[in-house]
Amino acid sequence: MNNASQPRQCILTPEQEALILALPKAELHVHLEGSIRPGTLLLLARRNGIDLGCRDEESLLALYEYQDFRHFIQLYGTLTSALRQPEDFLLITEELGLEAARQGTLYLEVTFSAAIHYRNKGIPFDEMMDAIAEGAERVRKSTGVEMRFILDMVRGYAPEYCQYTAEWCVQGQDRGVVALGLGGYEPDRPASLYAEAIRWAQSHGLPFVPHAGEAVGPEGIWDALLFNPMRIGHGIRAIEDPTLVETLRERHIALEVCPTSNICTGCVACWEDHPLRQLWDAGVIVTVNSDDPPMFNTSLADEYRRAFSIFGFTLEELAQLSLNAARSSLLPSEQRARLVERFQAEIARLGL
Q: Please check whether residue 180 is in contact with residue 150, taking contact to mean a CB–CB distance below 8 angstroms.
A: yes
Q: Structure pTM?
A: 0.95
Task: Report the half-sphere exposure of 120 (CA within 13 A, side-chain side).
Answer: 15
Query: What is residue 67's predicted lDDT score, i.e. its pLDDT?
Result: 80
Phi, psi of 51, deg, nearest 5: -95, 110
Predicted pLDDT of residue 61: 86
Choice among 62-76, 92-106, 143-157, 220-234 with the minimum mean pLDDT = 62-76
Domain ranges of the chain: 14-349
Residues designated as active site:
214
Mean pLDDT, to the nearest integer, of 47-75? 87
| pLDDT given at position 75 | 84
3-state secondary structure of 220: helix
Say if residues 234 and 265 touch (Cβ distance below 8 Å): no
Per-residue pLDDT of 72-93, as tens digits, reads: 888 888 889 999 999 999 999 9
User: Are the beta carbons of 235 and 255 closer than 8 angstroms?
Assistant: yes
> CA 197 to CA 4: how far, in whole Å?
36
Using the predicted structure, report yes or no on whether residue 2 has a pLDDT greater than 80: no
Count CB-CB contacts under 10 A for residue 116: 21
Distance CA 44, CA 29 (A): 24
3-state DSSP assignment of residue 297: coil
pLDDT above 60 for 260: yes
Burial 85-104, CB ≥16 within 10 A → b, else e: ebebbbbbbbbbbebbeebb
- Tell me the backbone φ, ψ of residue 106, rounded to 5 degrees: -105, -20
Residue 38's H or E segment, with its range, is helix 38-48
> Is residue 340 exposed (0-12), middle (13-18) or buried (19+ Cβ within 10 Å)?
middle
Question: Residue 146: which H helix or E strand, with range?
Answer: strand 146-154
CATH number of the 14-349 domain: 3.20.20.140
d(CA 313, CA 150): 29
